[in-house]
């Protein structure tokens, strides 16, 4: 059913790794590109700094989200933090009478290894709404932004 997932790295050579994160909705349902989800997403990611997680740039697409996040030595485990983010969005969707399931079980994470990698990934992510035909210019997509500048 699922391809075997590569294990997360046991050791990182930085105290504050920056992750490129992607999470998809269950059955790729168009649930995320709306003002309510955007608000709860921003509330959660802004408060993340209180727990040692610095959220950076992000794009919410209808059926998936991309986020860059830096984890410090006092951060919770990446899986725990992502579970919390998914739970906050799921609670909001449930309050709007959207039926479950909301999320695919897993998420994708990749440790960025250089500033160049961050720039390349961001250029790809920011252009997602354009490639999907949702806007003509990436800057016009209302469900994207930057919480903390890296």
Name the CA dihedral angle for 15, 8, 82, 55, rounded to a multiple of 10 degrees. 30
Domain boundaries, the chain: 18-130
State the alpha helices, DSSP H only, in 13-69.
35-47
Instruction: Check if the beta carbon of residue 138 is closer than 8 Å to that of residue 129.
Output: yes
What is residue 14's predicted lDDT score, i.e. its pLDDT?
59
What is residue 114's predicted lDDT score, i.e. its pLDDT?
80
pLDDT digit of tens for each residue in the chain (150 aa)?
Answer: 445 544 444 444 457 899 999 999 999 999 999 999 999 999 999 999 999 999 999 999 999 999 999 999 999 999 999 999 999 999 999 999 999 999 999 999 999 988 778 889 999 999 999 999 999 999 999 999 999 988
Instruction: Check if the beta carbon of residue 18 is closer than 8 Å to that of residue 56.
Output: yes
CATH 3.30.70.2190 for domain 18-130: no
State the alpha helices, DSSP H only, in 10-127.
35-47, 78-95, 115-126
Instruction: Check if the beta carbon of residue 32 is closer than 8 Å to that of residue 42.
Output: no
What is residue 4's predicted lDDT score, i.e. its pLDDT?
52
């Amino acid at each position: 059913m699922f391809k075997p997932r590569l294990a997360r790295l046991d050791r990182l050579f930085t105290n504050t790794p920056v992750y490129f994160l992607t999470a998809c909705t269950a059955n790729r349902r168009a649930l995320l590109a709306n003002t309510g989800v955007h608000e709860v997403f921003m509330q959660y990611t802004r408060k993340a700094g209180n727990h040692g997680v610095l959220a950076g740039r992000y794009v919410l697409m209808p059926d998936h989200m991309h986020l860059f996040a830096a984890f410090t030595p006092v951060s919770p485990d990446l899986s725990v933090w992502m579970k919390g983010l998914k739970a906050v969005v799921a609670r909001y969707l449930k309050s709007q009478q959207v039926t479950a399931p909301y999320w695919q079980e897993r998420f994708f994470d990749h440790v960025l290894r250089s500033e160049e990698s961050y720039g390349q990934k961001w250029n790809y992510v920011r252009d997602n709404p354009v490639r999907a035909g949702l806007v003509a210019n990436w800057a016009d997509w209302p469900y994207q932004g930057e919480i903390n500048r890296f």
